[in-house]
């Protein structure tokens, strides 16, 4: 099952999630390349969400993406096209 959202730029697309820090960075005047982390997911499956280093620290402290971690990340929904831009403009964490 795939969640759809209506992107202002791309119309009806699949939903992805980015943490608010990556989201704000992409909207700042001079976005920088941030390290991003992603949840474990099946190979061949698209990455459902990404978050920044600060969020990763909280998630490690919490042990999972629980309410406190999700609160800190305050994920934004973006469409899969917009999401690809985040993947291109930021740097994946080296681990796997």
Closest listed residue to residue 5, CA positions, set 75, 78, 73, 74 = 78
CB nearer to Zn ion: pick between 8 and 44: 8
Using CB under 5 A as the binding rule, whether residue 19 contacts Zn ion is answered as: yes
Using CB under 5 A as the binding rule, whether residue 82 contacts Zn ion is answered as: yes
Strand 91-92 and strand 35-37: pairing? parallel
Using CB under 5 A as the binding rule, whether residue 26 contacts Zn ion is answered as: no
Q: What sign results for the dihedral spanned by CA atoms 17, 84, 54, 8?
A: negative
Q: Where are the alpha helices (DSSP H) in 1-96?
A: 20-27, 53-62, 67-73, 80-89
Longest dimension (CA), the chain: 37
Using CB under 5 A as the binding rule, whether residue 55 contacts Zn ion is answered as: yes
Shortest CB 21 distance to Zn ion, Å: 3
Using CB under 5 A as the binding rule, whether residue 93 contacts Zn ion is answered as: no
Using CB under 5 A as the binding rule, whether residue 7 contacts Zn ion is answered as: yes
The one-character DSSP state at 63 is T
Position among 81, 84, 89, 93 found at the interface with Zn ion (CB under 5 A): 81
Point out which residues bind Zn ion (CB under 5 A). 7, 9-10, 19, 21, 51-52, 55, 79, 81-82
């Amino acid at each position: 099952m795939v969640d759809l959202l209506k992107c202002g730029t791309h119309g009806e697309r699949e939903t992805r999630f980015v943490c608010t820090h990556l989201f704000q960075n992409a909207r700042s005047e001079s976005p920088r390349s941030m390290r991003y982390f992603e949840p474990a997911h099946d190979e061949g499956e698209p990455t459902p969400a990404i978050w920044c280093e600060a969020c990763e620290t909280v998630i490690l402290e919490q042990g999972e993406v629980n309410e406190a971690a999700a609160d800190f990340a305050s994920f934004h929904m973006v469409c899969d096209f917009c999401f690809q831009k985040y993947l291109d403009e930021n740097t994946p964490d080296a681990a796997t």
